[in-house]
């Protein structure tokens, strides 16, 4: 069966200050299956948000996009014109933004923001759209019914605003939901509620989600598979439990060790707390930072972009971009060395 | 069943929070206007020598009975507080004193000159807001492309053009060279003005059903309105463009596009609405400045407006007229501010409901 979203060799560049193209994503290949929550993890500047924007055609007009992104085995997204995108956005792929406070229009009521695309895409009349909006509020657990439709975003709490944004994204029953760090701007307690909501939505309606986050805890709580991005490239991909418990890429391992409280156990689907160490051992490792600073796709050196910060480099690392190789079923790593990561580099 | 969200627009505009906002703003407006009278009264006290010598003509000053009547009327022998009370009392009755130059009541003078200014300020303002918002929005949507550059250069030219020069060039081209526009004034000299109702000739002509007079008045309006519009639009466009650019970069605009709404809907419903708030502020200031009279343009088009009246009052040291105009300008700015505040409330629920 073809995956719902099949992205192959997606590359994006934006014109720099001098007009020459600056790459923001190199060769990203990923797929999202039906009813699956797939994670994209990475530091800021790693190209994860750009991937989301590319998949909705929201990049600046002067962006150059190549490769392919096929939705549902039939619709090629790369190269769509504005009219084509308008038939995809909101209806087939919807997006939840990082900060709902910024993503909701401050001068329009919640009801208006929930119904405007319903009316446009589904051709509902005012009353039908309102009925549908009430169902949506119910679905994202917002109390208040009709009264809630008449409120303005500033009258709601941060968590409620994000629920409104999620309801708006779900309005036209999209096949794929892209969530770009939807919990980052929220308090930890509120965050938990939103994560729970995503999980409920997935169980109830078989929703497919591409969930972008920099929080490995969120990744482990919600996603079944994940892609680790660095400098606009996919470094490692595989089942989330595998990635977090037995990472094979030095970058993934370094990310895991850089987590505060690295001795806490993961709540990994199907994993057990006892083996919850990034190196598979039961001995807690000290928290370490990754030496050097993150490179952006534009400043990445030739070869493996992580090579300058990696403790396991060999000769070829700085000259040749490593290809994705399978290390286990569904687990791929872009590293030519594939070191034994249970040994902390000296 | 009638849902409450389905109320007609009119009742939504005049619902309770907006009425409360109106009351709050009206209260501050009254306080402000009170402050304005304190200022103008202080101005009277600051006039070198005696305000009386600045207010009465020389022949009047030589007549002891006139002088005594004047002193009694304004309470000049009373303490300052009482003088102020008398001053405000007279103002409230519409008595702004008598102009030295026209020997008519200042209020009467204002009633003649203000409608003339309104007649060019209102059309210029309406045109400026429509054109300024349209062109500014267009430039923002074409950001960095040719259309944007053309608009930016055009508005820079407009901003750096002196008003009187533009007025002179307009007269030279359209009156002298082409002969399609009148040389100035509000009506051709052979036409008798329509019976005065509002003081605005175009309106009065319509009320009297005098189409010929109306057409003549409109022809006289075209050049001054066009010149004022050019200058105001040039300033507005730059402002609208940057305000809209800022809005276009907001997440809620990206979110509206991510919903798959057509570009036109995104712009009209999401971009324009948010961008209007700063535009209203600037438009209000521009309108107030147009209403306070534009001396040079009025001078060149022999337009008997507030600007001309103020200029003549100042150069003739006509104290009552100067004070009258100052009071008028202060009231105009206060009321325009009130209007701007109310419009904020209509547009932005965060202001209305706070």
Asked if B261 lies within 8 A of A90 by C-beta distance, the reply is yes
DSSP state of A301: P
Instruction: Give residue-wise pLDDT tens across range A160-183.
Output: 999 999 999 999 889 999 999 998
**Residue B290 phi, psi (nearest 5):** -65, -40
Q: Which of B143, B260, B275 to mutate to test the interface with A (most CBs of A within 10 A)?
A: B260
Q: Which of A84, A103, A172 to mutate to test the interface with B (most CBs of B within 10 A)?
A: A103
Report angle CA B111, B114, B117 to the nearest 5 degrees: 155
Q: What is the predicted pLDDT for the residue at A108?
A: 93
Q: What is the predicted pLDDT for the residue at A286?
A: 63
Asked if B273 lies within 8 A of A150 by C-beta distance, the reply is no
DSSP state of B77: T
Residues of B with CB below 8 A from A165's CB?
A: 255
Most confident of the ranges A58-67, A271-280, A288-297: A58-67
Residue A266's CB is within 10 A of a number of other CB atoms, namely: 23
Q: Which of A106, A121, A167 to mutate to test the interface with B (most CBs of B within 10 A)?
A: A106
Instruction: Give residue-wise pLDDT tens across range A298-336.
Output: 788 888 999 888 888 888 888 888 989 999 888 999 998
SS3 at position A31: strand
Residues of A with CB below 8 A from B5's CB?
A: 111, 130, 146, 149-150
Distance CA B121, CA B113 (A): 12
Distance of CA A20 to the CA centre of its chain: 28
Residues of B with CB below 8 A from A56's CB?
A: 258
In a domain, B92, yes or no: no
Of A121, A146, A152, the CB nearest to B349: A152
**A56 in contact with B at a CB cutoff of 8 Å?**
yes
Asked if B348 lies within 8 A of A126 by C-beta distance, the reply is no
**A9 in contact with B at a CB cutoff of 8 Å?**
no
In a domain, B246, yes or no: yes
Distance CA B254, CA A52 (A): 12
Q: What is the predicted pLDDT for the residue at A288?
A: 77
How are beta strands A5-15 and A64-71 bridged, if at all? antiparallel
Burial of A171 (0-12, 13-18, 19+ CB in 10 A): buried
SS3 at position B314: helix
Residue of chain B minimizing CA distance to A111: B5
Closest CA to A157 of A194, A132, A116, A115: A194
Check pLDDT > 70 for residue A265.
no
Residue B345 to residues A152, B16, B353: CA-CA distances in angstroms? Answer: 14, 12, 8
Check pLDDT > 90 for residue A95.
yes
Distance CA B317, CA B214 (A): 36
Residues of B with CB below 8 A from A102's CB?
A: 250-252
Tell me the residue ranges of DSSP E strands in chain A.
5-15, 21-32, 37-41, 64-71, 75-76, 93-96, 176-180, 208-213, 225-230, 233-239, 325-328, 331-333
3-state secondary structure B110-178: HHHHHHHHHHHHHHHHHHHHHHHHHHHHHHHHCCCCHHHHHHHHHHHHHHHCCHHHHHHHHHHHHHHHC
**B269 in contact with A at a CB cutoff of 8 Å?**
yes
Beta bridge partners of A177: A94, A209
Q: What is the predicted pLDDT for the residue at B72?
A: 82
Of A95, A102, A146, the CB nearest to B258: A95
Instruction: Give residue-wise pLDDT tens across range B143-152.
Output: 988 999 999 9
Asked if B259 lies within 8 A of A85 by C-beta distance, the reply is no
Distance CA B69, CA A133 (A): 75
Spatial neighbors of A194 by CB under 8 A, at least 6 apart, are A159, A162, A163, A166, A182, A183, A186
How are beta strands A233-239 and A37-41 bridged, if at all? unpaired
Q: What is the predicted pLDDT for the residue at B5?
A: 46
A:B CB pairs within 8 Å:
93
> Cβ distance A8 to A74 under 8 Å?
no
Residue of chain B minimizing CA distance to A151: B349
Mean predicted confidence (pLDDT) in A268-273:
45
**B5 in contact with A at a CB cutoff of 8 Å?**
yes
Distance CA A195, CA A214 (A): 14
SS3 at position B195: coil
> Cβ distance B225 to B124 under 8 Å?
yes
In a domain, B293, yes or no: yes
Report angle CA B262, B266, B267 to the nearest 5 degrees: 115
Asked if B258 lies within 8 A of A58 by C-beta distance, the reply is yes
Range of the domain at B271: 114-352
**A81 in contact with B at a CB cutoff of 8 Å?**
no
Asked if A105 lies within 8 A of B3 by C-beta distance, the reply is no
Asked if B265 lies within 8 A of A107 by C-beta distance, the reply is no
Asked if A168 lies within 8 A of B259 by C-beta distance, the reply is yes
Check pLDDT > 60 for residue A276.
no
Residues of B with CB below 8 A from A89's CB?
A: 257-260
The Cβ-side half-sphere exposure at A77, using a 13 Å CA radius, reads 29
**A141 in contact with B at a CB cutoff of 8 Å?**
no
Closest CA to A191 of A171, A152, A218: A218
Residue of chain B minimizing CA distance to A153: B350
The rounded average pLDDT for each run of 10 residues, N- to C-terminus, in chain B (354 residues) is 46 67 88 89 78 75 83 82 88 86 89 92 95 95 92 92 90 89 85 86 89 92 93 93 93 93 92 91 90 85 91 87 90 91 89 79
Distance CA A268, CA A222 (A): 9
SS3 at position A10: strand
Instruction: Give residue-wise pLDDT tens across range A193-210.
Output: 898 888 888 888 878 999
Q: Which of A75, A107, A116 to mutate to test the interface with B (most CBs of B within 10 A)?
A: A107
Closest CA to A116 of B17, B258, B207: B258
Q: What share of chain B is helix, strand, coil (3-state, %, to 5)?
A: 75, 0, 25
Q: How confident is the model at residue A262 (pLDDT cuts 50, 70, 90)?
A: low
Report angle CA A165, B257, B250 to the nearest 5 degrees: 75
Distance of CA A200 to the CA centre of its chain: 18
Spatial neighbors of B206 by CB under 8 A, at least 6 apart, are B214
Asked if A103 lies within 8 A of B251 by C-beta distance, the reply is yes
Q: What is the predicted pLDDT for the residue at B244?
A: 95
Round to the nearest angstrom and report the end-to-end CA distance of chain A: 46
Residues of A with CB below 8 A from B4's CB?
A: 146, 150
Distance of CA A312 to the CA centre of its chain: 28
Asked if A152 lies within 8 A of B251 by C-beta distance, the reply is no
What's the structural domain count of chain B?
A: 1
Q: What is the predicted pLDDT for the residue at A56?
A: 93
Instruction: Give residue-wise pLDDT tens across range A12-55.
Output: 998 888 878 888 998 899 999 998 999 999 888 788 888 999 99
SS3 at position A279: coil
Closest CA to B250 of B268, B270, B227, B233: B270
SS3 at position A272: coil
Q: What is the predicted pLDDT for the residue at A93?
A: 94
Asked if B4 lies within 8 A of A150 by C-beta distance, the reply is yes
- Reported ipTM: the value is 0.85
Closest CA to A249 of A160, A311, A316, A174: A311
Spatial neighbors of B232 by CB under 8 A, at least 6 apart, are B124, B125, B128, B132, B286, B290
Question: Checking phi first, is residue A261 left (phi over 0); if not, alpha (psi -120 to 50) or beta?
Answer: left
Q: What is the predicted pLDDT for the residue at B15?
A: 62
Asked if A165 lies within 8 A of B255 by C-beta distance, the reply is yes
Domain boundaries, chain A: 93-173
Distance CA A255, CA B9 (A): 55
Supply the pTM of this predicted model.
0.82
Spatial neighbors of B320 by CB under 8 A, at least 6 apart, are B55, B96, B97, B98, B99, B100, B106
In a domain, B28, yes or no: no
Q: What is the predicted pLDDT for the residue at A268?
A: 52
Q: What is the predicted pLDDT for the residue at A223?
A: 92
Distance CA B136, CA B245 (A): 9
Residue of chain A minimizing CA distance to B262: A86
Distance of CA B299 to the CA centre of its chain: 17
Helices (H), B62-105: 64-74, 80-92
In a domain, B91, yes or no: no
In a domain, B262, yes or no: yes
**A94 in contact with B at a CB cutoff of 8 Å?**
yes
**Residue A15 phi, psi (nearest 5):** -65, 135
In a domain, B21, yes or no: no
Domain with B295 in it: what CATH number? 1.10.3720.10
Asked if B258 lies within 8 A of A107 by C-beta distance, the reply is no
């Amino acid at each position: 069966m073809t995956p719902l979203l099949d992205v192959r060799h997606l590359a994006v560049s934006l014109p720099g200050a001098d007009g020459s193209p600056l790459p923001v994503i190199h060769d990203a290949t990923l797929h999202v299956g039906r009813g699956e929550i797939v994670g994209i993890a990475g530091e800021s500047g790693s190209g994860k948000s750009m991937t989301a924007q590319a998949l909705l055609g929201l990049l600046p007009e002067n962006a150059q996009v190549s490769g392919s992104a096929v939705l549902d085995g039939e619709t090629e997204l790369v190269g769509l014109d504005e009219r084509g995108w308008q038939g995809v956005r909101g209806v087939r792929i919807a997006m939840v933004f990082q900060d709902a406070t910024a993503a909701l229009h401050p001068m329009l009521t919640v009801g208006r923001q929930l119904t405007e695309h319903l009316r446009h895409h589904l051709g509902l009349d005012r009353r039908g759209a309102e009925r549908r909006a009430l169902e949506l509020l119910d679905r994202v657990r917002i109390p208040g019914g009709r009264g809630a439709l008449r409120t303005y975003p500033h009258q709601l709490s941060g968590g409620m605003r994000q629920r409104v944004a999620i309801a708006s994204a779900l309005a036209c029953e999209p096949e794929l939901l892209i969530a770009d760090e939807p919990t980052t701007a929220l308090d930890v307690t509120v965050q938990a509620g939103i994560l729970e909501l995503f999980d409920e939505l997935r169980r109830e309606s078989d929703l497919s989600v591409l969930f972008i986050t920099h929080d490995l805890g969120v990744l482990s709580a919600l996603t079944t598979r994940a892609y680790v991005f660095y400098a606009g490239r996919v470094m490692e991909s595989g089942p989330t439990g595998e990635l977090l418990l037995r990472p094979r890429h030095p970058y993934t391992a370094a990310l895991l060790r850089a987590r505060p409280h690295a001795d806490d156990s993961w709540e990994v689907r199907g994993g057990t707390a006892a083996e919850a160490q990034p190196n598979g051992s039961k001995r807690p490792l000290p928290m370490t930072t990754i030496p050097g600073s993150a490179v952006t796709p534009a400043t990445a050196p030739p070869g493996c972009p992580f090579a300058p910060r990696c403790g396991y480099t060999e000769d070829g690392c700085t000259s040749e971009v490593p290809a994705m190789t399978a290390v286990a079923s569904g687990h791929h790593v872009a590293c030519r060395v594939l070191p034994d990561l249970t040994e902390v580099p000296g | 069943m009638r849902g409450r969200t389905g109320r007609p627009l009119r009742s939504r505009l005049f619902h309770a929070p907006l009425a409360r906002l109106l009351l709050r703003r009206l209260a501050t407006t009254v306080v402000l206007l009170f402050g304005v009278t304190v200022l103008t009264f202080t101005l009277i006290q600051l006039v070198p020598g005696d305000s009386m010598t600045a207010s009465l003509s020389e022949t009047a000053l030589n007549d002891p009975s006139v002088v005594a009547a004047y002193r009694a009327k304004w309470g000049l022998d009373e303490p300052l507080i009482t003088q102020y009370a008398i001053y405000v009392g007279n103002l409230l009755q519409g008595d702004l004193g008598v102009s030295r130059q026209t020997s008519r009541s200042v209020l009467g003078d204002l009633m003649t000159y203000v409608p003339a200014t309104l007649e060019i300020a209102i059309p210029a303002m309406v045109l400026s807001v429509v054109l300024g918002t349209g062109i500014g929005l267009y430039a923002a949507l074409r950001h960095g492309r040719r259309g944007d550059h053309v608009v930016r250069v055009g508005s820079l030219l407009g901003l750096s053009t002196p008003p009187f020069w533009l007025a002179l060039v307009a007269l030279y081209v359209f009156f002298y060279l082409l002969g399609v526009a009148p040389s100035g004034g509000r009506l051709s000299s052979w036409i008798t003005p329509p019976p005065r109702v509002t003081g605005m000739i175009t309106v009065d002509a319509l009320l009297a059903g005098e189409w010929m007079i109306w057409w003549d008045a409109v022809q006289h309006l075209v050049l001054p309105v066009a010149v004022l519009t050019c200058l105001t639009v040039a300033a507005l466009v730059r402002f609208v463009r940057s305000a809209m650019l800022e809005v276009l970069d907001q997440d809620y605009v990206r979110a509206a596009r991510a919903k798959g709404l057509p570009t036109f809907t995104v712009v009209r419903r999401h971009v324009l609405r948010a961008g209007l708030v700063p535009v209203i502020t600037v438009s209000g200031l521009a309108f107030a400045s147009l209403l306070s009279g534009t001396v040079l343009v009025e001078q060149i088009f022999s337009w008997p407006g507030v600007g001309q009246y103020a200029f003549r009052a100042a150069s003739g040291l006509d104290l009552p007229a100067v004070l009258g105009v100052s009071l008028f300008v202060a009231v105009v700015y206060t009321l325009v501010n009130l209007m701007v505040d109310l419009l904020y409330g209509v547009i932005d629920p965060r202001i209305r409901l706070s």
